[in-house]
Each structure stands twice: as structure tokens, then as C-alpha cells.
Amino acid sequence: MTVHSLRRTGAVTMSGLLIAALTACGSNEQAETNDPAETGPAADGETSTEGDAAGQAGEGESFAIALLLPESKTTRYEAFDRPLFEAAIAEQCPECTVIYSNADQDPAQQQEQAESALAQGIDVMVLDVVDATAGEAIVNNAKGQGVPVVAYDRLVAGADYYVSFDNAAVGELQAQTLLDMLEAEGTTSGDLVMINGSPTDGNAALFKEGAHGVFDASEFNIVAEFDTPDWSPDAAQQWMEGQLSALDMDSVVGVYAANDGTAGGAVTAMKGGGIEPLPPVTGQDAELAGIQRIVAGDQALTIYKAIVPEAEDAATAALALARGETPESSTELEGVPSTLLDPVAVTADNIMDTVVADGFYTVEDICTAEYADACAELGIE
């Protein structure tokens, strides 16, 4: 099954896999199976062994699939993308193996990891590039050896298939939700600060473009803007600390932060600088820390991108390509057959209807002792 769009976050069909993935997040032991309920993050180049599911689609097939993820500063990759992808492969192809590597935001390391996977005789590569330009060389090398490539989450030229979210729409949704919240409070103009993502990440450019499209058409004014190297929360914090003295913070009515990590850096900087109340801050990825900041009132919103259907779709496409088939797609981007999923804005008002309803987090995950009172006030229980 290929997921073409996710019109409602509750439409996730792999809740069992998500539960297994969440179970996996706390383990650092070497993997023994391809079931993420029994495995945790592993060393670069680790091969997950066969799943034990029997009688499912793909029985009798045996493909080697490389999964190359870009970094670990953003918690989603190790906590969700990897275990969910491995679970989807295990469900669809019990005899298949996944060769996993994380590049830790280093393009040269990702190149080495790709070459290592190819040397191991993989049948297909699922690639989430650190750097889009460097990623083209990885794709060309793979395809030169007859190995098809699924571009995962970030588009890279020359891939055989791409699955992600409508990333320009993500930026638009971040910006428009922020402006809607400001206008609901009676603020129709003022200064904004933009903390964008990594300049080497093609998705970050799309987030930025989408957000600018909304902000530039409004009565709000962008007074400072920063592209965050490597999506580093520390770099975002350091830059925001510099803005506390460079700007008239009394006039800053909102902070656009491209993801929850940079949002956390901005919030830490402003709280450390005595800014009170905090202006509303955006985010993305629905990280647990971001959801908890929303509960506490320190962050206004995040963008929830349901990773379950993304990982499931990537697994389905990878197996189709390994069989020599053409994956089903819903659109085309830069000549690459693509499937784009729909992002959802999460605020204090809809936490229960989004990340909790989908099983992404439980109330117990969110409402630890520090946040229990705030959760009760918001009806998160």
C-alpha cells in the first residue's frame, strides 16, 4: 500500500509498529532482530537480521536494503524513522535485511557509509541526504552499480522515487498558524525573527520559502534572520542571545523557528535573557520536548509530520524497486516520481487530537511531574 496523502492524522494504519518503535527508543543494545520492539540505535553499517514474521507479503524474498539517515541531533531519526522503517520492512519482507547508518551531519561520512553499503551488495538504497549536492554523487554512484535509490524525506536529484511531506506547505503552515495566533490576540503587525534550518538542507530552503511567502504578504516585518548550521540548537541559541541586545525585543511579537530543536535554542536564550512573557515561537517535528514546551506555554506550535506512513511508504517503494517494479506515486518533483504527505499544526488546543490520538506519544509521556498541572489545565489526561 502506498500512502498518497494524510488528510487526517488519525488515519495512521501502523499503530502497532509505532508502539514497537516507541518501545525501541530506550534501548542501546546491539540489534538481534529486525523487530524494533527488540532493538535500539546501532553502530553505523549495522545489519539488522531477519524478522520472524511468517506468512506475510514478501515471504521467500531476501533483499539487502541500505537505510542512510542524516543526523541524530533531531530526535525523530533514531527514535522514529529508523525503527519504523525497519518494522515496515520486517512486516512486508521477513527475510530482508536492513543495513543502517547515521551520518551525524557529515556529508563525507555519509559518502563513506553509502560506499560501504554498496560494497556489501545491497539491492536498494533509502537515502536521507545530509547535503543535497553531495547526495547527487551518492545517487549517481549507486545507480552506476545498478542500485535504485529512494530519496527519503529530502529530495535528491536522480533518485528513482521520493517520499516526504509538502515542505513548502510546512513553512506556510508554520507562518500562517503563527500569524493566526497573533491576530487572535489582536496583534496585526510587529517585528518577527526568523531562525531557519541548515543551509545545506534542501528541505530547509523550502520551509524558509514557504514561510517567507506568508510573512512577506503580511503587515509583519522580519527584523533578523539566521540560517542555522547543521540544525544545531546550540547555534540557534547563541545567535538568539546576540539578538537580545541587537534588537528592541519589546517590538518582537513572534519567533519563527524552523524545527523544535532551534525553537528550544531560541526559548532558552530568551528565558536566560529575562524576556517575559515570551513571544510565540514556532517549531516542527513534534518532538516530545517541543510538545512539552507547548504545554508549558513556552512554545506556541509545532508541525506534526506523521512519520509512520512516510516510513511505510519508503519501505514499500524500496521493496518494489528491489523487485524491479515501479513504485506507485502521486506526483513528480524535479523529474522524480514522488509521494507527498500532509503536515498538521499542533497547538495547545489539539495535542489530544493529533499526537496522542495517533499514538505518537501517550499522555504519560507528555505529562510528567513537571508538566502535570499544565496538562490538567489543558485537559490533557
What are 65's strand-pairing partners?
A: 98, 124
* Residue 321: its H or E element: helix 307-322
> Other C-beta atoms within 10 Å of 297: how many?
14
> Other C-beta atoms within 10 Å of 291: how many?
27
Report the predicted TM-score, pTM, of the whole model to 2 decimal places. 0.77
Rg over alpha carbons for the chain, rounded to the nearest Å, is 21
pLDDT confidence of residue 59: 57
Task: Report the chain (381 residues): mean pLDDT per 10 consecutive residues.
Answer: 35 42 37 36 44 44 96 89 97 97 96 98 97 95 98 96 96 98 97 96 95 98 97 97 97 98 98 97 97 98 94 98 96 96 96 94 97 97 91
Q: What are the cell numbers at 112?
A: 563513506
